[in-house]
């Protein structure tokens, strides 16, 4: 049903990458808009809030820098593009092509992450200039594990948003559902406060939801903080395998429901 | 005469945009839930901060809630007026429809800034005021006429500064064409307004007082609310608001000279 081969994938990526390069400034601005974790770090260390969770200033700064990186490479916006395409009727020509349109969006995201990479590095360098004591080099195996878990985090968010995007076939404007879902993602994923600092009544159930695996888990691996790697990966793969069939199902139901422009 | 005309036009804007927003009814309801969750989330974050300490930057939990309330009101205003209108500028310029705006016998800034309204932000405004009333109770604040007048003045100044910031950044679209994300950067900076300015390090405090005057937007109104604001702070806020508004107006007129329409 996907009809994808290597050539198509490479062509898609190339096209989208050159597309993204044209709007470099825009992507640089996106990268800058992700610096909230640094402000949070400032509040944490400036008020010595981290003493209670047994994290030194250095480890906490590494955590928030890692959180920044994980967020940079797992940002998903497919629902907004899809909504616009659906409202303007651009979906129709995509549907005729012998390729699921979500591959196009997927390639867009990957291309955007590649374009983002240098900007994220620059921001990290500035961060190290200001906080030279927090410089660290993660060992290779942990680094690779962190890359994988970031990619899985991206996949989870991409699948969730794609499912929401499919609701466009019914409600036309699905981005408000995404904005609703963004709130728990923002507060529970570990972007603003590491999950270990959460009160017990939240910690007892949060590890069953997908949220801590979006930012907190990959950021902990990358920064070298303690985390249960095996159960983390297990939960990430579990959520991907739950969400993927749901996405396929909503997509096939949605395309049947779809009534192009003018009908 | 002129004010009467603009008021009449504004009431027309209101009715048409509310009608078109209400076409997506479920959307409005979902946005309401989002507003509530977002307030719950930020209070949750505050409780994490206050788990093991009784003050951040010299503000205790009950006082920090005031900042949260002011932030919620301002965020509601942003979502109701600034966000739906000022992100449109990008669209106008990319698609060349700014021509139609400029041709209208109306002030272009007026049209661009107030054409649309998103009613879902109203709930946030109401929630913010409700939180403030709650704070009056738990902080034992005495209300009198001068207190109310000062509060409203500083809040009004905050709104003016916030609007001018949004408008200034949106205006740069005339040169850069695709700065849809510049407002996103502003949004992430404004996020800081949820916390007392004193809880940041000195360098960030300077940055957020001078370049992005978040200090003026939420911290000073909250201090006024608590009755601990100094007179010069209030005067400074008024001056900053006036300057920002005038600059944003001048900048718009200046930028329009560089607008080269769709075909030229």
For A81-116, write each residue's pLDDT tens digit: 898 888 888 888 888 888 888 988 999 999 999 988
Rounded to whole angstroms, how far apart are CA atoms A15 and A103? 13
Q: Which one of B42, B179, B188 has the shortest CB-CB distance to A35?
A: B188
pLDDT mean over A66-74? 94
pLDDT at B87: 80
The interface residues of chain B toward chain A in range 1-40, judged by CB-CB distance below 8 A, are 24, 26-27, 30-31, 33-34, 37-38
Rounded to whole angstroms, how far apart are CA atoms B139 and B132? 10
pLDDT at A261: 59
Nearest to B167 by CA among B263, B256, B34, B100: B256
Rounded to whole angstroms, how far apart are CA atoms A111 and B167? 31
The number of C-beta contacts closer than 8 angstroms across A and B is: 98
Nearest to A192 by CA among A54, A31, A35, A36: A36
- Across chain A, what does the average pLDDT equal? 89
Which of the listed ranges A82-96, A146-160, B106-120, B196-210 does the model predict with the highest average pLDDT?
Answer: A146-160
Nearest to B190 by CA among B224, B166, B225: B166
pLDDT at A232: 94
A105 Cβ partners below 8 Å, 6+ apart?
A78, A81, A82, A162
Give me the DSSP letters along A22-66: HTHHHHHHHHHTT-HHHHHHHHHHHTTGGGGGT--HHHHHHHHHH
Nearest to A113 by CA among A169, A143, A73: A73
- Across chain B, what does the average pLDDT equal? 87
Instruction: Assess whether pLDDT exceeds 60 at residue A152.
Output: yes
Instruction: Assess whether pLDDT exceeds 90 at residue B191.
Output: no
Q: Which one of B34, B176, B195 has the shortest CB-CB distance to A183?
A: B34
pLDDT at A153: 96
Q: What's the residue count for chain B? A: 264
Count of other CB atoms within 10 angstroms of residue B232: 8
Instruction: Please tell me the least confidently modeled range out of A63-72, A209-218, B9-18.
Output: B9-18
pLDDT at B86: 83
**Which pair of structure tokens corresponds to residue B118?**
């998103």
Nearest to B229 by CA among B180, B181, B157, B173: B157
A172 Cβ partners below 8 Å, 6+ apart?
A83, A86, A87, B24
B246 touches A at CB < 8 Å: no
pLDDT at B264: 52
pLDDT at B184: 80
Tell the residue number behind the tokens 């290597």, with chain if given.
A6
Q: What is the CA radius of gyration of chain B?
A: 19
CA dihedral B146, B147, B149, B150 (to 10 degrees): 110
CB contact under 8 A, B38 and A183: yes
**Per-residue pLDDT tens digits for B237-252:** 999 999 999 999 999 9
Q: What is the pTM of this model?
A: 0.89
**Per-residue pLDDT tens digits for B113-165:** 888 888 888 889 999 999 999 998 888 888 888 888 999 999 999 999 999 99
């Amino acid at each position: 049903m996907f009809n994808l081969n290597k050539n198509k994938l490479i062509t898609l990526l190339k096209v989208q990458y050159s597309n993204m390069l044209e709007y470099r400034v825009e992507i640089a601005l996106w990268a800058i808009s992700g610096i909230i974790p640094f402000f949070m770090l400032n509040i944490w260390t400036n008020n010595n809030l981290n003493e209670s969770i047994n994290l030194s200033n250095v480890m906490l700064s590494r955590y928030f820098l890692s959180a920044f990186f994980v967020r940079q490479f797992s940002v998903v916006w497919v629902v907004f593009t899809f909504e616009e395409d659906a409202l303007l009727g651009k979906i129709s020509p995509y549907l005729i092509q012998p390729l699921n349109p979500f591959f196009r969006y997927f390639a867009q995201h990957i291309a955007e992450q590649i374009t983002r990479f240098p900007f994220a590095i620059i921001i990290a360098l500035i961060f190290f200039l200001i906080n030279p004591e927090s410089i660290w080099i993660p060992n290779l195996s942990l680094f690779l594990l962190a890359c994988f878990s970031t990619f899985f985090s991206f996949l989870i968010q991409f699948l969730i948003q794609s499912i929401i995007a499919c609701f466009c076939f019914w409600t036309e404007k699905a981005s408000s559902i995404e904005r609703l879902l963004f709130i728990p993602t923002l507060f529970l994923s570990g972007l603003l406060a590491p999950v270990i600092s959460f009160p017990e009544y939240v910690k007892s159930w949060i590890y069953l939801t997908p949220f801590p695996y979006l930012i907190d888990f990959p950021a902990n691996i990358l920064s070298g903080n303690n985390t249960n790697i095996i159960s983390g990966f297990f939960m990430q793969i579990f959520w991907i395998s739950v969400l993927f069939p749901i996405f396929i199902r909503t997509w096939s139901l949605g395309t049947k429901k779809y009534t192009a422009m003018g009908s | 005469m002129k004010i009467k005309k603009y008021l009449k036009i504004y009431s027309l804007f209101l009715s048409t945009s509310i009608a078109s927003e209400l076409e997506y009814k479920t959307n409005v309801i979902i946005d309401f839930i989002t507003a509530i969750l977002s307030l719950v989330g930020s209070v949750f974050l505050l409780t994490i901060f206050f788990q093991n300490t009784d003050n951040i930057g010299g503000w205790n939990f009950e006082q920090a809630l005031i900042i949260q309330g002011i932030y919620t009101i301002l965020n509601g205003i942003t979502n109701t007026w600034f966000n739906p209108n000022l992100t449109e500028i990008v669209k106008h310029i990319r698609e060349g429809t700014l021509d139609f705006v400029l041709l209208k016998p109306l002030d272009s800034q007026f049209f661009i800034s107030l054409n649309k309204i998103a009613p879902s932000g109203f709930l946030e405004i109401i929630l913010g005021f409700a939180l403030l009333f709650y704070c009056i109770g738990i902080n034992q604040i005495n209300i009198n006429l001068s207190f109310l007048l000062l509060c409203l003045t500083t809040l009004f100044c905050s709104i003016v500064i916030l609007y001018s910031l949004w408008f200034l950044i949106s205006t740069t679209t005339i040169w850069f064409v695709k700065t849809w994300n510049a407002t996103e950067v502003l949004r992430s900076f404004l996020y800081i307004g949820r916390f007392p300015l004193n809880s940041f390090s000195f360098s960030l405090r300077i940055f957020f007082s001078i370049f992005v005057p978040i200090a003026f937007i939420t911290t000073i109104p909250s201090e006024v609310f608590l009755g601990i604001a100094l007179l010069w702070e209030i005067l400074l806020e008024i001056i900053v608001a006036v300057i920002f508004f005038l600059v944003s107006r001048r900048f718009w007129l200046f930028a329009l000279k560089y607008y080269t329409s769709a075909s030229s």
